[in-house]
Amino acid sequence: MTYPLWPRNCLTMFAVQFKEACWAYGGFMRLEGKVAVITGGGNGLGRATARRFASEGAKVVVADIVDELGEETVQMVASDGGAASFIHCDAVSAQDNHAMAAHALENYGAIDILVTAAGVSHPGYKSGDNDASLKWWAKRMDYFENPATELLDLELEDFRQVMAINLDGTLLAAQACVAPMVEAGNGGSIVTIASIAAKHPDAGPIPYVCSKSAVWMLTKKMARLLATSGIRVNAIGPGYIDTHMTKMIELIPEERLTQFFANIPMGRKGVPDEIANTALFLASDEASYFTGEILHPDGGYFTE
Ligand SMILES: NC(=O)c1ccc[n+]([C@@H]2O[C@H](COP(=O)([O-])OP(=O)(O)OC[C@H]3O[C@@H](n4cnc5c(N)ncnc54)[C@H](O)[C@@H]3O)[C@@H](O)[C@H]2O)c1
């Protein structure tokens, strides 16, 4: 049945005004009734996103390779008054990713949102292990003086390890979650975590920048393939955000650090909540006409 345009417009306007009034009185939550799966939810950007989504009414599945970190996020969500549960998931395992999707369906009955925040900056990266990260970064100091050695020293195995977690991990999580989303026919939203390194070669080591540019292309490809299923797929390409991953920046010699922040007009790192808020926008109906897009919360890095 088709309706004349004017009552439909009136209804839409009423719905928008009603929603805004509810927000104004704090009675409306952007993700009420939604189920969100978050890989890498045990720390940093994934953890902040899990807490933000839960605060907006979503039921959250926290997936991570480090069980203690994932369980900790679930505790945080619970003490904020939200709903979440943890499942162990190694991003590179197809089996673990399918178990993650099954966990969401068994516990909460659906998957509406997927955020792929599991990732590493270098081979052997372990979130929370500061000493290991600082040692790895110290070795790289030489590359400032002799850039060609970064290329020549790179082991293929190390390249593959980072590509596997960042790129294969994004693909596998999407495949596992999209199947039930398509079957349910209710659409949904996928938010991948790329980086400014998706577009700028200086924003990380070789395997990292290659993996992130591939995540960005995978995001666009999935957006085109899933548009008719009502599933929007967008990426976030954060600049330098204050998580375990960027602790290593503190090792950069003073003069280079000044140069580093000179590339960021806002002159500071971002905080995880600034990425969580970007993810919230992309996951919510407020981004209903966004797909195949990348948003860069980066303090102005890309104004050059
Ligand atoms: N922090 C930044 O400045 C920044 C900027 C751009 C992009 N990113 C990206 O954001 C994502 C999250 O990074 P972060 O800064 O929050 O780091 P983080 O170390 O705080 O969090 C990463 C999480 O991913 C998990 N993880 C690592 N390997 C995994 C695997 N194989 N399977 C499942 N989980 C795994 C870790 O246990 C951890 O909980 C990464 O993809 C990173 O590349 C971060």
What pLDDT score was predicted for residue 131?
A: 85
What pLDDT does residue 27 have?
66
**Interval between CA 180 and ligand 1 midpoint (Å):** 25
Q: How far is the CA of 46 from the centre of ligand 1 (A)?
A: 7
- Catalytic residue status for 108: no
Long-range CB contact pairs, 214-219, < 8 A, 24+: 214/163, 214/167, 215/166, 215/167, 215/170, 216/192, 216/294, 218/167, 218/170, 218/171, 218/174, 218/192, 219/190, 219/192, 219/194, 219/292, 219/294
User: Which one is catalytic: 3, 108, 125, 208?
Assistant: 208
Ligand 1-lining residues (CB < 6 angstroms): 39-40, 42-46, 64-66, 69, 89-92, 117-120, 127, 165-166, 193, 195, 238, 240-241, 243-246
C-alpha Rg value of the chain to the nearest Å: 20
Low-confidence ranges of the chain (pLDDT < 50): 1-6, 8
**Could you tell me if 73 and 272 are in contact, meaning their C-beta atoms sit under 8 angstroms apart?**
no
| Predicted confidence (pLDDT) per residue in 60-107, tens digit | 999 999 999 999 999 999 999 999 999 999 999 999 999 999 999 999
Closest-lying ligand 1 atom to the alpha carbon of residue 70: 39
Distance 42 CA to ligand 1 centre (A): 9
- H or E element that contains 294: strand 294-295
294 beta partners: 235
> What domains can be seen in the chain, in order of their start residue?
30-303 (3.40.50.720)
pLDDT at 5: 45
Which atom of ligand 1 lies nearest, measured to the CA of 42?
A: 39
Count of CB atoms situated within 10 Å of the CB of 173: 30
Q: What is the pLDDT of residue 258?
A: 85
Residue 11: predicted pLDDT: 56
